[in-house]
Structure 1
């Protein structure tokens, strides 16, 4: 895998990123879920990079990006994307975020709509709780709880049992991703999930939006995807028979849904 480049945000944190695809194509930014890194999208690059200049990055607290101590905010995660775009000279881009990355996508749609061409919000929610449950996870991470326990829980929530049993290579790849996430970085990201509430702001999003949900998702429920699609004017909903990471569980239908939506904007008008 090619080495990642680094960008320094205005608070001194470094954000690791990489490009795939031809430089003359429109930019598509991919944003990772909690406890993963940019490589969660590896399976999609062959398909997406045929049409787009794909920009992937490791969200702060994850992968090769900085993991500052303390609680992160959704505003900070959103500004990381805007600063990265500014630093790379990208005035506008399509944006696809999954789970926590979908929170970032919602924030961008509300606070920086002029920077977003088309928005894909995958397996995400406008609000999750209860806060006390998330606080328990943060306290456990800060208290030295084994990351292996978190890895087991994440994997059980992300994938169907059948995939975990038949595809140990994928299971171990994502387990390694989780285990290399700094505990304090994961705790900081959990604070974003605890504190974010976009429910009243969703109707402000005026970008063309596709919402992708998992009918069997136990993390961000199907009803969360339905709620987002109903609140954003003109949004479309694609519900897949998946759990939480449909890009891994059923990549072909997932890529078809994303590309079918994004490439509409690239078709010539009649």
Structure 2
């Protein structure tokens, strides 16, 4: 797997498709890695140049000593585009990747044609909740978090009918870096992009899961009301909607970026 250095982290990434095609970069959620985008890789790679990466502290990317912040996570994306010599791309991020996308739309609008933010919010959860989770993971590791993740990520029918997918994501979380996960929790504790949403001037698609207990449709409506010209697509799924309703997810993005 190729890697590059961004602000002391070795970022693991992979590309798919023809680099002469328009580029789409995908950003994973907390506790996952770039393999979560497999349905999107397969769907889009014929017509787009797909870039997937493991957020610092996740997957095969390294986990330098934290805490991290949202600016650091966003700069990793820009540094990856620079590394690949790509001047402009489409960005798609879910949950943690989605708030990273909002930051990028605010600070680097010239680098993106479109930004898609999924199952996310302009402020995710509370500072104390994230800091408590960071402390828990540093003390007990990731297995306690991994053992309950499926219920936050997917609806019960999906869990029952797709045990292999659910087990892989849960196992990936359990095998991850506690320090990397905790440091990203600390980034999310402080991450708040609400104040500058109205300054975004590039096209934004918001995908919100109707059964998402983590980032709700109401969070999606807040972003839509505050980002000029943005569109909201509600999807009948929980938090990892790109896997639970992959076909609907892919069609929504395709319609938006064509």
TM-score by length of 2: 0.97
CA distance in 2, matches of 1:166, 1:61: 30
Match for residue 163 of structure 1?
158
CA distance in 1, matches of 2:257, 2:171: 31
CA-CA distance at 1:23 after TM superposition = 1.8
Q: Does 1:125 align with 2:121?
A: yes
Please list the CA deviations of residues 149-174 of structure 1 after superposition, one character each: whole Å capped at 9, or x if unmatched: 10122211000112112211111111
CA-CA distance at 1:180 after TM superposition = 2.2
Match for residue 10 of structure 2?
14
Corresponding pairs, count: 258
CA contact (8 A) 2:98 2:119 kept: yes
Q: 1:225 aligns with which of 220, 228, 253?
A: 220
Structure 2, gaps ≥5 residues long: none
Structure 1, gaps ≥5 residues long: 264-270
Structure 1 stretches of 4+ with a deviation exceeding 6 A read none
Please list the CA deviations of residues 129-184 of structure 1 after superposition, one character each: whole Å capped at 9, or x if unmatched: 322222111111121x1422101222110001121122111111111221122001
Match for residue 266 of structure 1?
none
CA distance in 2, matches of 1:94, 1:44: 13
Match for residue 81 of structure 1?
77
CA distance in 2, matches of 1:177, 1:199: 31
Query: Cα RMSD (Å) of the superposition?
Result: 1.0
CA distance in 2, matches of 1:174, 1:243: 15
Q: Does 1:135 align with 2:128?
A: no
CA distance in 1, matches of 2:201, 2:163: 41
Q: Does 1:100 align with 2:96?
A: yes
